[in-house]
Structure 1
Amino acid sequence: MAIKKFLDKGLEAVIMTRKRNRKPTHPGYFFKVDVLAANNVSISEAARTLGVSRKHLSAFVNEKVPCSRDLAKRLALATETSIASWLSMQAAVDVWEAEHDDSAHYDAVGKIAFG
């Protein structure tokens, strides 16, 4: 209910139009630095612990693939963190990339009139 009152005050435009200048940290980089390196754990060892392939985990920590719901759950269980924290980090990266994507195929998108 509190969030509805907040949005009813016309602040949703401020929330929805805020853009970051810097790309958010990819969750894979965070995992590589703050979990693997900090605990001297190899990608191969972590992949076995998580039940994923070494190739996939390597792609994740090198920021080549996003954090899926499945991987977020595995990371959360293994690190005693929340699934939401991993997915929120990924969502921040996704939003930043979408906001900074100036691909020409979006030029054809029109406006929808709201009445």
Structure 2
Amino acid sequence: MTMHNPAHPGEILKELVLTPLELSVTEASAHLGISRKTLSKIINAKGAITPEMAVRLEMVFEKPSADHWLKLQNAYDLWQTRQHQEKLHVSPFKINSQESASL
């Protein structure tokens, strides 16, 4: 089941992790071992949560898991791509009935 317009995981990070812990971008980025600019891009939906970043988040905050962060990012990316799929200029591959019988 796909989500309708899922939130960028950076927004979730900001609202559900950083804000409740009263962590500034500077403090959080120091704990994560990344630049303030990198974290700022993520929480402002200008950058993605990579597998490495997901592991860093898991190590620093323990929950949610790295898998969960990546699932959030994937859901967001897929929804965004589907909004512009007509720009991909592809069409379904049609196989004839003889070929499909051999599959």
TM-score, normalization: structure 2?
Answer: 0.83
Does the Cα contact within 8 Å between 2:8 and 2:73 map onto a contact in 1?
Answer: yes
Q: Deviation digits for residues 91-112 of structure 1, max 9, x if unmatched?
A: 11011111111453x22x2332
Query: What residue in structure 2 maps to residue 28 of structure 1?
Result: 10
Partner of 1:112: 93
SS of residue paired to 2:45: coil
Deviations 1:5-51, CA, capped at 9 Å, x for gaps:
xxxxxxxxxxxxx554x311111111111111111110001001000
| Greater relative contact order (CA < 8 Å, ≥ 6 in sequence) | 2
Counterpart residue number, 2:51: 69
TM-score by length of 1: 0.75
For 1:1-80, what aligned pairs fall within 5 Å after superposition? 19-20=2-3, 22-80=4-62
Question: What amino acid is the match of 2:51?
Answer: R
**Amino acid in structure 2 at the alignment position of 1:110:** S
In the alignment, structure 2 segments of 5+ residues that lack a partner are: none
Runs of 4+ in 1 over 6 A off after TM superposition: none
Q: Can you give the 5+ residue segments of structure 1 that lack an aligned partner in the other structure?
A: 1-17
When residues 103 and 112 of structure 1 are mapped into structure 2, their CA distance, relative to the original with a 3 A threshold, is closer
| Cα-Cα RMSD | 1.6
1:93 aligns with 2:76: yes
- Please give the secondary structure, in 2, of the residue aligned with 1:39: coil
CA distance in 2, matches of 1:85, 1:34: 14
Q: Distance in 2 between matches of 1:35 and 1:110?
A: 42
Give the aligned partner of residue 9 of structure 1.
Answer: none
Q: CA 1:77–1:19 in structure 2 vs 1: closer, same or farther (change >3 Å)?
A: closer
Matched residue type, 1:85: H
Letter in 1 for 2:92: K
